[in-house]
Chain A
Amino acid sequence: MNGITLDDAFPDDKILELALATEPHDFERIAPPAQVWDNILAEVEVERASAEADARRRFQPWFRSNSVLAIAAATLLMVGVVAAVAFSRDNDVPTRELAAAQMTDVDLPVATDETAQARVVCGEDGCAVELWLSGLPDAGDGDLELWVINSDVSDMHSLGIIDGANAVDGGSYALPAGVTPDDFPIVDISVEPRDGDETHSGQSVLRGVLEA
Chain B
Amino acid sequence: MSALTLHLGFAGYAHAASRTRRPSIIKADETPIVVDDLEEAFVSGSEIGLAAAYSRHGSLIHTLCARAHPSAAADLTQEVFLAAWRARDRFDPRRGPLPAWLVGIAKNKIIDAHRKSVRQVPVMRDNEGSVVDRLSDDSAPLDQLANRLLITEALATLPDRPRQIVQMAFLEELTHEQIAERTSVPLGTVKSDIRRGLARLRRYLEASS
Binding site for B on A (CB under 8 A): 2, 7, 9-10, 12, 15-16, 18-23, 26-37, 39-41, 43-45, 47, 109-113, 135-140, 142-143, 145, 156-161, 163-168, 191-192, 198-200, 203
A-B contact count (CB 8 A): 181
A143 to chain B, nearest CB (A): 8
Contact of A139 among B1, B17, B148 (CB under 8 A): B17
- Cα–Cα distance between A33 and B202 once the two chains are bound (Å): 31
Binding site for A on B (CB under 8 A): 1-13, 16-17, 19-30, 44, 46-48, 50-51, 54, 58-63, 66-67, 73-74, 77-78, 81-82, 85-86, 144, 147-149, 151-152, 156, 170-171, 173, 176, 191, 198, 201-202, 205-206, 209
- Cα–Cα distance between A111 and B40 once the two chains are bound (Å): 14
Q: B152: which A residues are within 8 A, CB to CB?
A: 22, 26-27
A40 touches B54 (CB 8 A): yes
- Cα–Cα distance between A36 and B200 once the two chains are bound (Å): 30
A167 to chain B, nearest CB (A): 8
Q: B201: which A residues are within 8 A, CB to CB?
A: 15, 19
Q: B46: which A residues are within 8 A, CB to CB?
A: 111
- Of A30, A39, A191, the most chain B CB neighbours within 10 A belong to A30
B13 touches A164 (CB 8 A): yes
B17 touches A31 (CB 8 A): no
B201 to chain A, nearest CB (A): 5
- 26 pairs, CB–CB < 8 Å, chain A vs chain B: A2-B176, A2-B191, A19-B201, A20-B171, A20-B173, A26-B152, A27-B152, A30-B67, A32-B59, A36-B29, A37-B27, A37-B28, A37-B51, A37-B58, A41-B28, A41-B51, A109-B23, A109-B24, A111-B48, A136-B12, A136-B13, A140-B25, A158-B3, A160-B4, A192-B3, A198-B1
B10 touches A165 (CB 8 A): yes
